Structure 1
Amino acid sequence: MCPSEDKYTDEGRMEESSPSKAVVPLAIVTVVSVVCMCATAIVVATQDNGSASAPLGSGSGLSNLNVILNVGDTDFATRGPPAGDNPCAGKKLDLPNIECINDAIDGKPQAGANVTKGYKGDMEVDVEPIDKPYWQSGLCPVNVHWHLGAEHYSLGEYDEAGKGPAADEKDDDHRRLAEEARLGYQCRHYDENDARFAMPYEWKHCVGMKVGETYEVHWPHSAAGSCGTVNQYQTPFYDGVFCNLDMDTLVTLGAQDIANNVGVQAQVFTIVNDETYYYPDLMRGMVVDGAMGSDIAYYTGSTTGTSRDNTICSQYSPITWQVDRKCHMVSASSFDKMCADMKAQRDDMSDDLYAHGSRVLVADEFAADNGKRLLRA
């Protein structure tokens, strides 16, 4: 129970002849009132065990003001914005795959390529990739998704000598995805005797993921996206890339125009169960922190995925690729937070909450000869 305010009011009247002595009771009134209001709010919130509306200062001039308390699980909130029109829905432009015949794909180099230091493909192109951060060229990320293993190849980082966990028979989701999705190259971090790579993580938002496994994350960017709005992120990513671009306009653009306005960031990770490697904003783009995002390969290529190989090629080309040549460790919780953020978008991104299969490494004859390597300070 809170002491009656009348008690202090009466004492205040008794001391009216001494203003200096009246200050102390008045201060006590203020402190006790605040404590009582907080206690009342806590009681209401505790009873509800979620969001609660607590009366503030009942009987006072603030009696109609409520304090909204949330003492429930606030981790990884997945509540999206209000429902509304999605101007990007269905905006994918249909450019069907074609046979990888030199004449047919002339000027349409493919990805993912070898990004080892010094590598250049054999396809001669007269287009240059964007060699500065995409935001400086007016592009924004319009999607995030990832592939099982690495689609690119970086000798000594993610290559044929890399390794990861064997499919666990008890891990149904991971085993199913491993059977359905092609595994790309793996990093060299994995150590089955290190708890960071072996301790299971309780996934709440991502689907079929595995601690210790290698994943290549892609952030498609576009100058024609719904940048800066609640509709910026889209699945499939093509809807985001072409949100404000129609086919009539696309056919008027030159190869350099396309490479200047569409690009992908790529970064390769091994997942660990270690909060030392937690990055809370993985959805927004490549991590640039110390060695992360500092050694970048730039080239022009195409979209990827297992519907293409060295027989069937993509016509979504040429687009800029910026690929981190190093493999990094990142916490499982970083990925799960990213999946929670994806669930909170206006567009339904559930088809990108799991790893997609990796395309086979692009043959030299279909890889552009304009690759360059830059070190970011």
Structure 2
Amino acid sequence: MQTVRIIQFALVSLLAGFSTLGHAAEACVGFGPQTPRDIDSAVGTNPRAFSMAPSYQTMNLCNIHFHANAEHKAKDFSIYAGDGVNGGYQCNVSKSLSRAELKAPKVNHCKGIKPGDTIEVHWVHSSCDVKPGKGLGSCLSEQCANPDLRVETQVFTVVNDTNALDFADFSYAGNRAKGYHQAKALPSGTGEPVQFQGSTTGPSYTEATCSPLQVSWSVRPQCAKLDINSLSKWCENNVFEEDYAHGVRKLVTNPKLLSEIK
């Protein structure tokens, strides 16, 4: 695993250097489609294409994590939160919550998140025969260093309300289905997921420094309310060692860096 991580780090660093060498312009050159994006726009002219990963149900869940605010943009999460690692977008409903929903919980094990905040949760799936674990490295192995990757995505408004969705319903907790590591369930009732080809995300990437990894995305277009008490329990103890909100990558808008949504 250490060898895989070293190779991956070297590849990312090398390609990141090539992306800006001799190009002072905004967009990196020679990379495949990037993420995140406005999922309400199908426009994309990036020429590199790859096969979409299979259904998450025939892949192994390898990681679950969440970002502060939505990295993607859609009609239902379109309130601009600014630039920077905690920029991105907020759910429209986050501006019309009750006092009770916004009340601070007695206990909160999730760093960087409070009631009223928006989060984007990523359920990362790999074609490798791997077990769920910490970080992207859990999606690879010495025998499988170039897997198909699929990310199932849901944007939530976090509220202090036990009647809201319970994150335990979407956690892993050792669950297996038809031999694959799987979340117990994925969110439903938030619109038909928008599927497209893209990359990994996070604040280390920009339109000038692109991610070389190929990822199939499935992003649900509507927000849902999530009970912060249930998220706190998950942050307190999970196999992914996740207890904080990750930063966001600024929205990719250059059509040359986006795939066409078909």
Task: Classify the TM-score, shorter chain.
Answer: 0.7 to 0.9
Partner amino acid for 1:366? L
**Residue segments in structure 1 that go unaligned for 5+ positions in a row:** 1-87, 164-177, 227-231, 251-257, 373-377
Kept in 1, the 8 Å contact 2:28–2:209? The answer is no
Partner amino acid for 1:96? V
Q: How does 1:10-29 map to 2 (within 5 A)?
A: none
Report the CA distance shift for 1:225/1:105 in structure 2 as closer, same or farther (over 3 A). Answer: farther
Partners in 1 of 2:153 and 2:134 — Cα distance?
A: 17
Say if 2:38 is the partner of 1:134.
Answer: no
Partner amino acid for 2:228? A
Q: String of CA shifts for 1:117-137, please: whole Å, max 9, x gaps.
A: x5232213433424x6311xx
Say if 2:93 is the partner of 1:195.
Answer: no
Alignment correspondent of 2:206: 309
Alignment correspondent of 1:72: none
Alignment correspondent of 1:287: 186
Which of the numbers 102, 109, 124 marks the counterpart of 2:33?
109
Alignment correspondent of 1:158: 77
Name the structure, 1 or 2, with higher relative contact order (CA <8 Å, separation 6+).
2
Q: By how many angstroms is 1:295 displaced?
A: 1.5
Report the CA distance shift for 1:245/1:281 in structure 2 as closer, same or farther (over 3 A). Answer: farther
Alignment correspondent of 1:264: 151
Aligned positions, number:
237
Alignment correspondent of 1:335: 231
Partners in 1 of 2:121 and 2:212 — Cα distance?
A: 21
Q: Which has the higher helix share?
A: 1
TM-score normalized with structure 2 length:
0.79
Report the CA distance shift for 1:191/1:153 in structure 2 as closer, same or farther (over 3 A). Answer: closer
Partner amino acid for 1:305? G
Partners in 1 of 2:37 and 2:100 — Cα distance?
A: 30
TM-score normalized with structure 1 length:
0.57
Q: By how many angstroms is 1:288 displaced?
A: 3.0
Q: By how many angstroms is 1:297 displaced?
A: 0.7
Report the CA distance shift for 1:179/1:111 in structure 2 as closer, same or farther (over 3 A). Answer: closer
Which of the numbers 122, 128, 137 marks the counterpart of 2:45?
122
Q: String of CA shifts for 1:241-282, please: whole Å, max 9, x gaps.
A: 1125455xx4xxxxxxx5xx2111111000011111132233
Alignment correspondent of 2:133: 234
Question: What SS does the aligned partner of 1:96 have?
Answer: helix
Q: String of CA shifts for 1:183-233, please: whole Å, max 9, x gaps.
A: 21111112466124421113343223210000111111101142xxxxx22
Say if 2:254 is the partner of 1:367.
Answer: no
Say if 2:48 is the partner of 1:144.
Answer: no
Alignment correspondent of 2:110: 206
Question: What SS does the aligned partner of 2:88 have?
Answer: coil
CA RMSD of superposed structures (Å)? 2.7
Alignment correspondent of 1:320: 216
**Percent of aligned pairs sharing the same letter:** 24
Say if 2:147 is the partner of 1:243.
Answer: no
Alignment correspondent of 2:179: none
Greater Rg, structure 1 or structure 2?
Answer: 1
Partner amino acid for 1:143? N
